[in-house]
DNA sequence: CCGTGATCATTC
DNA sequence: GAATGATCACGG
């Protein structure tokens, strides 16, 4: 069974990621003595965790970049046959109690997105998981324009949370970002503040990137096959 | 409990 | 069909 150590450089990471392109999930899983599940119903994180293993990511579930030494975050991105993202992309959870004091420059969202290795993976339900193939990687940092767009939404959404109105937020808000539930289930609760500054229990939330945003990232950096 | 990895399933 | 809100598994 193969063991992949952390990459020592960006070049080495990209080399490994390029070597995955075109391979199926079952082939990659087999390298590690695993088999790909028939469905992701009970294994929603399977693709992301497999790519972490195949590329030597280190941070696991810590609040750190996946490749700690390189400061690079890994994101698998489910796409359709034309290369268009089919799901939003989870970025990070939101510390509801700290929203008032949070600053964009040092925000968790900005740190997470500072440098991302995107790996498109076929993510349509018609194709069995084991047969789904991995696409070409893209090492990305936000352009000045993208950074501004992210900041605009972050400021608005964190502003709402900071003034104690987290429960007024819906997935409709934000042009490139969304705030949506990120929880065990609808009954999960986390400490938050209401508009009077009193402690309340709120549904845990996370930031997600809209598919229109990730689609733009992909299309700006390489032409999509068949598109 | 809170973080990570996300996709599912119902609604629009 | 796309998007929002709900949900699943696992690590520390």
A126 touches strand C (CB under 7 A): no
The CA-CA-CA angle for residues A209, A214, A218, to 5°, reads 165
DSSP A157: H
Which two tokens mark A9?
A: 């450089």
Strand A205-209 and strand A190-193: the pairing is unpaired
Categorize the per-residue pLDDT at A226 as very low, low, confident or very high, splitting at 50, 70 and 90.
very low
pLDDT tens, A147-193?
999 999 999 999 999 999 999 999 999 999 999 999 989 999 999 99
pLDDT above 50 (res A218) = yes
Which of A 60-119 have CB under 7 A of nucleic chain B? Answer: 60-63, 66, 73-76, 78, 87-90, 92-93, 95, 108, 112
Which of A 152-171 have CB under 7 A of nucleic chain C? Answer: 170-171
Instruction: Provide the phi-psi class of A166: left if phi over 0, else alpha when psi is between -120 and 50, else beta.
Output: alpha
The CA-CA-CA angle for residues A62, A154, A121, to 5°, reads 55
A172 touches strand B (CB under 7 A): no
pLDDT tens, A27-36?
999 999 999 9
pLDDT above 80 (res A2) = yes
A187 touches strand C (CB under 7 A): yes
CB A111 within 8 A of CB A147: no
Categorize the per-residue pLDDT at A61 as very low, low, confident or very high, splitting at 50, 70 and 90.
low
Q: Which nucleotides of C are covered by protein (CB under 7 A)?
A: 3-12
As a whole number of angstroms, the distance between CA A194 and CA A81 comes to 45
pLDDT above 60 (res A223) = no
Which of A 28-47 have CB under 7 A of nucleic chain B? Answer: 39-41, 44-45, 47
Categorize the per-residue pLDDT at A224 as very low, low, confident or very high, splitting at 50, 70 and 90.
very low
Q: What is the dihedral of CA A161, A48, A175, A159, to 10 degrees?
A: 10
State chain A's mean pLDDT as an integer: 92
pLDDT above 90 (res A220) = no
CB A168 within 8 A of CB A160: yes
What pLDDT does residue A16 have? 96
pLDDT tens, A94-122?
999 999 999 999 999 999 999 999 999 99
DSSP A172: T
Which two tokens mark A53?
A: 């293993």
Measured in whole angstroms, the distance separating CA A13 from the mean position of its chain's CA atoms is: 18
pLDDT above 90 (res A221) = no
CB A134 within 8 A of CB A20: yes
Which of A 200-219 have CB under 7 A of nucleic chain B? Answer: 204, 206
What pLDDT does residue A6 have? 92
Strand-pairing partners, residue A180, are: A206
As a whole number of angstroms, the distance between CA A219 and CA A121 comes to 15
Residue reference for tokens 């390489």: A222
Residue reference for tokens 């199926």: A24
């Amino acid at each position: 069974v193969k063991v992949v150590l952390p990459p020592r450089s960006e070049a080495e990471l990209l080399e490994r990621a390029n070597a995955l392109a075109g391979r199926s999930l079952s082939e990659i899983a087999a390298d590690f003595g695993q088999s790909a599940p028939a469905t992701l119903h009970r294994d929603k994180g399977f693709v992301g965790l497999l790519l972490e293993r195949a590329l030597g990511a280190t941070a696991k579930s810590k609040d750190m970049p996946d490749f700690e030494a390189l400061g690079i975050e890994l994101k698998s991105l489910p796409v359709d046959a034309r290369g268009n993202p089919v799901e939003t992309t989870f970025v990070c959870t939101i510390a509801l109690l700290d929203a008032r004091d949070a600053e964009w420059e040092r925000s968790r969202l900005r740190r997470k997105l500072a440098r991302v290795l995107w790996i498109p993976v076929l993510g349509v339900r018609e194709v069995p998981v084991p047969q789904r193939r991995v696409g070409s990687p893209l090492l990305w940092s936000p352009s000045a324009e993208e950074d501004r767009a992210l900041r605009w939404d972050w400021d608005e959404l964190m502003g709402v949370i900071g003034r104690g109105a987290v429960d007024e937020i819906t997935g409709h808000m934000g042009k490139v970002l969304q705030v949506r539930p990120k929880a065990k289930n609808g009954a999960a609760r986390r400490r938050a503040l209401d508009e009077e500054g009193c402690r309340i229990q709120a549904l845990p939330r996370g930031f997600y990137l809209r598919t229109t945003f990730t689609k733009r990232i992909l299309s700006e950096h390489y032409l999509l096959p068949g598109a």
